């Protein structure tokens, strides 16, 4: 019983000490996220890939329209148009899913790199520059060197 009371008192003292301890100062950084994203090679590759896929879809639509216009039978025209619409919808959906997953991966990568570099530099918090009115060390230039 004495051990339990002694342990309780020690725990209370430890808890009280932590309440009155001085808080650690926060070192806050800000980053211009738009600049970082625009400079990212991963995002640039994703954009060029998306442009290529858009060109593929445009070519597919032109080919489909030409094929449908060649048909003289109205029923065959409708059937062929419906078939191409299904193919187009499935291609768009597949491209959108692929784009979303690659965009998510790029976002995760950029976020991880910012966090890693900020931690190396001793920062405890990083905020988007657009959300901060005043204060914080701007580390955008350093992050841009890391991201490229």
The stretch 30-53 carries a mean pLDDT of 91
pLDDT greater than 70 at residue 10? no
pLDDT greater than 60 at residue 8? no
pLDDT greater than 80 at residue 47? yes
Q: Distance between CA 144 and CA 148 in Å, rounded?
A: 6
Q: What is the per-residue pLDDT for 68?
A: 85
Rounded-to-5 percentages of helix, strand, coil across the chain: 75, 5, 15
Strand bridging mode 137-138 / 125-128: unpaired
Q: Distance between CA 116 and CA 109 in Å, rounded?
A: 10
pLDDT greater than 70 at residue 21? no
CA 54 remoteness from chain centre: 21
Residue 136 has phi, psi (to 5 degrees) of: 85, 145
pLDDT greater than 80 at residue 43? yes
The stretch 122-144 carries a mean pLDDT of 91
Q: Distance between CA 66 and CA 134 in Å, rounded?
A: 59
Architecture per CATH, 24-147? 2-Layer Sandwich (3.30)
The stretch 115-139 carries a mean pLDDT of 91
């Amino acid at each position: 019983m004495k051990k339990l009371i002694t342990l309780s008192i020690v725990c209370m003292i430890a808890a009280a000490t932590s309440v009155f301890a001085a808080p650690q100062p926060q070192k806050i950084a800000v980053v211009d996220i738009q600049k970082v994203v625009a400079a990212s090679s991963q995002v640039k590759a994703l954009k060029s890939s998306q442009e290529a896929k858009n060109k593929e879809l445009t070519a597919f639509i032109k080919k489909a329209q030409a094929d449908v216009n060649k048909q003289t039978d109205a029923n065959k025209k409708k059937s062929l148009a419906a078939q191409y619409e299904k193919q187009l919808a499935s291609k768009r959906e597949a491209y959108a899913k692929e784009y979303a997953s690659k965009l998510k991966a790029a976002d995760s990568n950029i976020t991880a790199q910012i966090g890693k570099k900020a931690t190396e530099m001793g920062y405890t918090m990083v905020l988007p520059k657009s959300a901060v009115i005043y204060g914080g060390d701007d580390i955008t230039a350093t992050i841009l060197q890391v991201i490229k």
